[in-house]
Copies of this chain bind each other. A is one copy, B any other.
Amino acid sequence: MLSEFDLIKQYFVTPASKDPRIALGIGDDCALLNPSPGKQLAISSDMLVSGRHFFPDADPFGLGHKCLAVNLSDLAAMGAKPLAFTLALSLPEANREWLDRFSKGLLTLAAEHNCTLIGGDTTKGPLNICITIFGEITPGQALRRDTAQVGDDIWISGDIGDARLALAGYWKELELSPEQHQQAAVRMHRPTPRIALGMELCGIAHAALDISDGLIGDLGHILERSKVGASLEVDKLPAGLMLQSQPQELRRRFTLAGGDDYELCFTAPIQQREQVIAAGLRTGTAVTRVGKIEHKLGLRLLDQDGQHLALELKSFDHFVSD
């Protein structure tokens, strides 16, 4: 039978990192990091629960990718450069095939971002995956939520809403063609953390976060913490490729209150428009200007004629919506 230590050794220990900042990796009571002199450490934790954040029969390779991707996305939202992560894993059983594919999905994405697995924990229990990730950033450069300024443009990276469309397909809320559903599902299962763009936006953007619970709820955090309001041009929101061919009402709903997008929503002064577009070009990431930070509190939704839209929407909350 596979013991806890064999499990870690076989599936999660990679050749010793050559990164001099990683003084000690997996296998002791603690890992040891040598932070780069003069840098701040950005830290984020995300816990993914079976049946809540992913289907119990989810493809383990994709799951390994997604668990790390959502954590990388938090680093991207601060503008931090990935360094390392810990993985705590509760598993119903030590299934070799599952572990093999899960660890490959996880470690493939980790390698792409030079982000080293340095420790963690494994235990038996209901499937639960908790990653804590570490990145580095120059002090004063982090893209926070409380630093949006009146007059800023609001921008969104990539496109949003296809993950929500895929979910609607799984839930049978909508009839999608198999091909539509499959393509939308890629956005749900394989989010792309916008690490390169986040780093480029340091010094250009004022505030940023990643869209995980739906745009209006997440943008609401920037507004609340920055003590500002905003208006959004709803029909300018960059809808996902599959969502684009859906009716306007659905497009509006899924871009505004989708979830699982893992794109960046950021604000930047008008004078930085060219710089924002250049940052998008350098990192191969679409950037779309979708609204404005305003003095008047609250969030105003405008249609293509600048008329107010009254939409009943809410963001996802783990303890209220169910």
Give residues in A with beta carbon < 8 Å to B: 1-5, 7, 23-24, 27-35, 37, 40-53, 74-75, 77-78, 80, 86-91, 93-94, 118-126, 128, 130, 132, 134-135, 137, 139, 142, 144-146, 208-210, 225, 317-320, 322
Give, as a whole number of angstroms, the nearest-CB distance from A300 to chain B: 22
User: Which of B37, B48, B74, B90 is A29 in contact with, Cβ under 8 Å?
Assistant: B74
**C-alpha spacing A4/B77, complex, angstroms:** 20
Q: What are 6 A-B pairs with beta-carbon distances under 8 A?
A: A4-B318, A28-B145, A29-B44, A34-B139, A46-B88, A88-B132
B123, A30: Cβ atoms closer than 8 Å: no
Which residues of chain B are within 8 angstroms of A320 by Cβ–Cβ distance?
1, 3-4
Which residues of chain B are within 8 angstroms of A41 by Cβ–Cβ distance?
32-35, 41
B125, A52: Cβ atoms closer than 8 Å: yes
A80, closest chain B residue (CB): B30
**C-alpha spacing A32/B40, complex, angstroms:** 6
Q: Give 4 nearest A-B pairs by CB, closest first.
A: A49-B125, A47-B88, A29-B77, A30-B42
**C-alpha spacing A91/B130, complex, angstroms:** 14
**C-alpha spacing A319/B50, complex, angstroms:** 19
Given contacts A3-B317, A3-B320, A130-B130, contact A40 B33 (CB under 8 A): yes
Which residues of chain B are within 8 angstroms of A24 by Cβ–Cβ distance?
142, 144
Give, as a whole number of angstroms, the nearest-CB distance from A38 to chain B: 8
A77, closest chain B residue (CB): B29
**C-alpha spacing A56/B183, complex, angstroms:** 42
Given contacts A35-B35, A77-B29, contact A43 B119 (CB under 8 A): yes
Given contacts A24-B142, A43-B118, contact A29 B209 (CB under 8 A): yes
User: Which of B3, B40, B44, B74 is A34 in contact with, Cβ under 8 Å?
Assistant: B40
B123, A318: Cβ atoms closer than 8 Å: yes
Give, as a whole number of angstroms, the nearest-CB distance from A96 to chain B: 11
**C-alpha spacing A89/B5, complex, angstroms:** 25
**C-alpha spacing A146/B30, complex, angstroms:** 13
**C-alpha spacing A225/B27, complex, angstroms:** 9
User: Which of B4, B29, B123, B134 is A52 in contact with, Cβ under 8 Å?
Assistant: B123
Which residues of chain B are within 8 angstroms of A137 by Cβ–Cβ distance?
32
Given contacts A30-B75, A74-B30, A142-B24, contact A132 B45 (CB under 8 A): yes
